Amino acid sequence: MKRTPVGVFDSGIGGLSILKALRAELPHEDFVYLADSGPHAPYGERDNAHVIERSRAITAHLRARYDIKALVIACNTATAAAIHLLRDEHPDLPIIGVEPALKPAVAHSRTRRIGVMATRSTLGSAKFCALVDSLVGQADFICQPCDGLADAIEREDTIKIIALCAYCTGAIGQFGTNDGQIDTLVLGCTHYPFASEHLRTLVGPYVRLIDNGEPVARQTHRMLKILASGDAPGECILLSTGDGASLRNAARHWLALECPVELALI
């Protein structure tokens, strides 16, 4: 890479949904994406101490090895657990996190009943609870922990993905556009957009599915102090702390991105 890249990390392939939005918003920027998909994933089923330790180690690695000019934490769980600490420890580095897109959901919902699919860690975090509290009276949020769904998406286990999507949407309630029905579904984990096709079949064509890729990309654009210049498309480096095959295949399938995956020893 000739230019200073933007760093992006997640516990696996889920953050590729954020990377896709970033590359669309900032087509000339270089990116380095790290999937912490070794023994540390998925973050949503780890305790906060573990997620904080990994977030610190990855941030330090991306700064030292790639001299990143900004960092996008492409994981709801890591954002909730670690973003405040990372910002304190790296005050010179723009750090952008993700959170379930409840505010956009409120803006779109007509029935004022909104389903939220997320990991148990995200739903139990102080950051998420504060977000819900800030929207009291604007909508009813029906929150569903989706244990195992991120891992099934990571492993491309289609049978389990379909089964878990069916269970979670069934537990949330009745979807539709009539009064009392849930007309908006928030995908509160960056992995879940990769299950959108199955979710769409389950909730019907008129329910709005909302993820946070585009808002995060716009916020990153606003926070970058120096934008890449020139007309050349940006480059991308893919890193993994585990087997890179799933990351390579997912990048090819979802982003039409053909590049090798390097092993990150962190």
- Cα 153 to Cα 158: distance, rounded to the nearest angstrom: 8
Q: 35 - beta bridge partners?
A: 10, 240
In the chain the first and final C-alpha atoms are separated, in Å, by 21
- Cα 129 to Cα 136: distance, rounded to the nearest angstrom: 11
Task: Give me the catalytic one of 75, 143, 165, 168.
Answer: 75
SS3 203: helix
Per DSSP bridges, beta strands 6-10 and 70-73 are: parallel
- Cα 4 to Cα 250: distance, rounded to the nearest angstrom: 25
SS3 116: strand
CB 57 within 8 A of CB 265: no
SS3 219: helix
Beta-carbon-side half-sphere exposure of residue 232 (alpha carbons within 13 Å): 9
Which residues, in sequence order, are CB contacts of 88 under 8 Å at separation 6+? none
Angle 14-240-243 from CA coordinates, rounded to 5°: 95
Task: Give me the catalytic one of 165, 168, 189, 236.
Answer: 189
User: Is 143 annotated in the active site?
Assistant: no
SS3 161: helix
Q: Cα torsion for 21, 25, 26, 31, to the nearest 10°?
A: -10
User: Is 168 annotated in the active site?
Assistant: no
The residues that are catalytic are: 75, 189
